[in-house]
Structure 1
Amino acid sequence: MNPAFLTQFLQGSKKGLPLMIGYIPIAIAFGVLARQADLPMLPTLLMSLMVYAGASQFMAVNMIAAGTAGVEIIIATFILNLRHLIMSLSLMNALRHIPKSWKSFLSFGITDETFAVASLEASQDRSRMHHFYVLGLFAAAYGSWVIGTFIGAALYQLIPASISDSMAIALYAMFIGLLVPAVQKSWRFGLIAAVSILLCTVFHQFLSSGWSIVLATIFGSMAGIFVYKEEEA
């Protein structure tokens, strides 16, 4: 690798260190929960390697443990991950100077956290955002997520039951972590979340847990459109 490219990669990786510290414990929790849900080691690792979407992975594992059908899991995780489309468009627009061939490759590394860090860096000094710099940032986060998953999946039997059982709260903590900053910006996000919760509770009386989540997500999103239409009016 060109020394200049290596320097840029290492600088990006350094920016990813705080993300690594946060990702590893959550990834360990995911690995433990996946194995407790009777997901074999290989599929657990492949989920982190190929899906790489923490909230969706936790939700999928919980749905698998509940015996939810595969179609329901796919639809639910797809809807939950639609926000990545917006983040990709926003970030790649800020990184217009990066070659197109790199953009498709780098887009896989976008998560809520890497998007926040990369967007902040781009707003402060866009010229610094070389593709190897972004690669270093994304690689640090991605590597820590995969390594944490492996540790949790490999050592889940050695973790005391009292600790491993409490790790189930990681799913709720992740969703709260996504919701609270949004509610701080606008109370309307809290209203949308409340509507979605109410709908999921109602749907669960008549449908499976998987379809309850799917339909509540869809109708909750539709409610969000009307809420923000009223705000714009």
Structure 2
Amino acid sequence: MASAVPIAIGYIPIAIAFGVIARQSGLSFAETVMMSMMVFAGASQFMAVQMATAGALGMEIIFATLVLNFRHFVMSLSLMDRLKHVPPWARGALAFGITDETFAVASMDEKGGNGRIHPLYLAGLIAVAYGSWVFGTVIGVLFAKAIPRAISDSMNIALYAMFIALLIPAVRKRWWAGAVALIGMALNALFGLFLSGGWATVLATVAAAGCGAYLMPKDQSPAPEKRRVERME
């Protein structure tokens, strides 16, 4: 839970901004809070509100959210490989709470041993992150009429600050993590010249991940057979 405090500090102002913007866009109290409780994906929620305000159909919003959050499938597969010792129902519950931030922090956890992640560590991490996101949304909804639109929009800067705070420790340990981030930013700017923001982000993410798989040293992800041999030795 202590590891999730930096995430919560970043989530709360962003969730407040979402709550304010959603209410100012015409969503009800229940719709706004339930979206945070059931979707739990900041970028997708902001996009959904914008699309709904523009008159997009429900299936269009669902499909756009699926594409934008497709990276979560890869994140889940990566973490579930380190949770093979956990019952399937528990893995399913933990998978719901995987976001960019919880994945980044959980991936750096080295306390599980043998490449594993302790399920209670991940549960505490997700509980604080999820609770802070829902809490911030409720605060934003309650004070939507009192917070000017200009202030709520400026709260989004916390998202970038949080990503930088998560990236710096990884870059200090692994140079290729910084290279992947720079490649992703450059590709996103390039694709943004002739694609919409959503598609540019999706394509840049996939391409940067492919570059990361090439740049990452092979000994960073030893095969199960290699780990068994090392333990025997």
Amino acid at match of 1:185: A
Q: d(CA) in 1 for partners of 2:201 and 2:65?
A: 10
Amino acid at match of 2:192: I
Amino acid at match of 1:197: G
Q: d(CA) in 2 for partners of 1:188 and 1:196?
A: 12
C-alpha distance after superposition, 1:73-126 (max 9, x if no partner) = 2222111101111111111112222222210111001011111111111x3443
Mapping for residues 69-88 of structure 1, pairs under 5 Å: 69-88=57-76
Match of 1:147 among 135, 140, 147: 135
Aligned residues with identical type, % of pairs: 44
Question: What's 2:184 paired with?
Answer: 189
Amino acid at match of 1:126: G
Q: d(CA) in 1 for partners of 2:5 and 2:163?
A: 20
Question: What's 2:145 paired with?
Answer: 157
Matched, 1:66 2:54: yes
Q: d(CA) in 2 for partners of 1:222 and 1:29?
A: 25
Name the structure with the higher helix share: 1
Q: CA RMSD in A?
A: 3.2
Unaligned residue ranges in structure 1 (runs of 5+): 1-12, 201-211
The TM-score, its normalising length taken from structure 1, stands at: 0.73
How far residue 222 of structure 1 moved from its aligned partner, in angstroms, is 10
C-alpha distance after superposition, 1:199-223 (max 9, x if no partner) = 23xxxxxxxxxxx5566567x4699
Q: d(CA) in 2 for partners of 1:183 and 1:135?
A: 25
Q: d(CA) in 2 for partners of 1:193 and 1:179?
A: 17
Question: What's 1:206 paired with?
Answer: none
Question: What's 2:193 paired with?
Answer: 198
Amino acid at match of 1:87: M
Tell me the SS of whatever aligns to 1:96.
Answer: coil
Q: CA contact under 8 A between 2:20 and 2:140: conserved in structure 1?
A: yes
Amino acid at match of 1:101: W
How far residue 166 of structure 1 moved from its aligned partner, in angstroms, is 3.5
The TM-score, its normalising length taken from structure 2, stands at: 0.73
Match of 2:123 among 127, 135, 138: 135
Question: What's 1:224 paired with?
Answer: 207
Unaligned residue ranges in structure 2 (runs of 5+): 168-175, 216-233
Amino acid at match of 1:71: M
Q: How many residues align?
A: 202
C-alpha change, 1:101 and 1:129, in structure 2 (3 Å) is same
Q: d(CA) in 1 for partners of 2:164 and 2:62?
A: 22
